[in-house]
Amino acid sequence: MRLPNPRTAHPVSKLRWLRHGVLLAILATMLLWLITAVIAHHEIGNTRRTQAAIADITEAQVAAQQASASLKDVFTSGGVALTGTGNDFANDAAQINSDITAAAEGNAAGNIGAAKIQFVLGQLETCIQLAETDVRSSVPAADDATNCLAQPDQTVGGVPVTGTGGLTAALADLKQAQVAALDAQLGSPWLDPWLIWPLLLAPAALMLVFGGFSTGILVGHFRRRVGPLLPTALLATSAAAILVATLSTLDSHRLTANPLASEPIIVVLVLAALATAMALAHFAYRPRLAEYRFPRS
């Protein structure tokens, strides 16, 4: 079936095409909002988990420093024969293990991050074993264990070599990997206002173009003015798009567990506004289209 030439088509046929375009623009606004809201919610959830993992690693770093200090105090006080490594050291070691286990749930560095987490846990186990060995050996100072805990990475040409230091260095390396992953997550285009605003407002801009052509046809061929329905539909669509774009921008900065753009009240308001816009747009074209009936070919 041959499509009619837009240049020679009857004005009413053009209005019918323009009405379809306006309705599709409103529908596109709704779909783009839903897509961006769902993906942005997922991205925000990922960044929050990574932030929690980084916080856990930071706590583990503090516990590692405390474990090293506690172990030194035990040997310095001379009570190692009675207390062993001491309750403080045991508690700090348990805290490190707990923090890293929790951080593993929010690992955003993929296989590299998982390998670094396993290396940290291995380092922790080694440090505990060295501390117990120092206690059994009755050495005057737990040098092996404290070095295992606090020794920095070795350097080659002034550049630190990853994996050659103690537990504290391994934790710092793990944290750096998670921070790099977090930076990549925060750079997601779905959290970028420079993408969200044009994406959500593009259908409204297209709707404005269709409305302009419709106005030209109504004035030029029918000597009629545009009624209030079509501008109101455009206003409702634009307002909905601006609202969700604004809330999405706020969400990308706040990174809260419940993004504003996905709040139930916002969902209801936006859906109501866009549904109203579709109804208004439909009825805005109806009077002129109802004046003509073309036989189906």
**Domain membership flag for residue 5:** no
Element (H, E) at 250: helix 229-254
Cα–Cα separations (whole angstroms), residue 286 to 122, 246, 280, 283: 73, 33, 10, 5
110 torsion bin: left (phi>0), alpha (psi -120 to 50), beta (else): left
3-state secondary structure of 155: strand
The tokens for 139 are 């050495």
3 or 236, which is more confident: 236
3-state secondary structure of 100: helix
Tokens 């240049």 sit at which residue?
Answer: 7
**Domain membership flag for residue 105:** yes
Q: State the average pLDDT over residues 106-110.
A: 93
Nearest CA to 108 out of 49, 39, 173 is that of 49
CA–CA dist 140, 135 (Å, integer): 9
Domain that holds residue 209: 11-44+188-290
Both 195 and 140 in a single domain? no
Both 61 and 120 in a single domain? yes
CA–CA dist 278, 188 (Å, integer): 32
- pLDDT at residue 91 tops 60: yes
Both 169 and 56 in a single domain? yes
**Domain membership flag for residue 1:** no
Q: Among 186, 221, 241, which residue terminates a domain?
A: 186
Q: Among 186, 205, 226, which residue terminates a domain?
A: 186
Q: Are 255 and 41 in contact (CB under 8 A)?
A: no
Both 37 and 69 in a single domain? no
Cα–Cα separations (whole angstroms), residue 15 to 94, 202, 274, 288: 73, 21, 21, 8
Both 152 and 182 in a single domain? yes
Per the structure, how many domains does the chain have? 2
Both 52 and 129 in a single domain? yes
- Position 214 scores a pLDDT of 83
**Domain membership flag for residue 2:** no
The tokens for 210 are 């269709």
Both 120 and 245 in a single domain? no
> Which amino acid is present at 170?
A
Number of residues assigned to the chain: 297
Both 181 and 214 in a single domain? no
Q: Among 186, 221, 247, which residue terminates a domain?
A: 186
- pLDDT at residue 2 tops 90: no
The pLDDT confidence band at residue 152, using thresholds 50, 70 and 90, is: confident
Cα-Cα-Cα-Cα torsion 138, 139, 140, 143, nearest 10 degrees, comes to: -140
The pLDDT confidence band at residue 297, using thresholds 50, 70 and 90, is: very low
Both 247 and 177 in a single domain? no
Nearest CA to 274 out of 242, 243, 236, 231 is that of 236
pLDDT tens-place string over residues 155-179: 777 777 787 788 999 999 999 999 9
SS3 per-residue string spanning 207-233: HHHHHHHHHHHHHHHCCCCCCCHHHHH
Q: Are 37 and 244 in contact (CB under 8 A)?
A: yes
148 or 11, which is more confident: 148
- Give the CA count within 13 Å in the CB-facing half-sphere of 185: 27
Both 24 and 129 in a single domain? no
pLDDT tens-place string over residues 63-76: 999 998 888 887 77
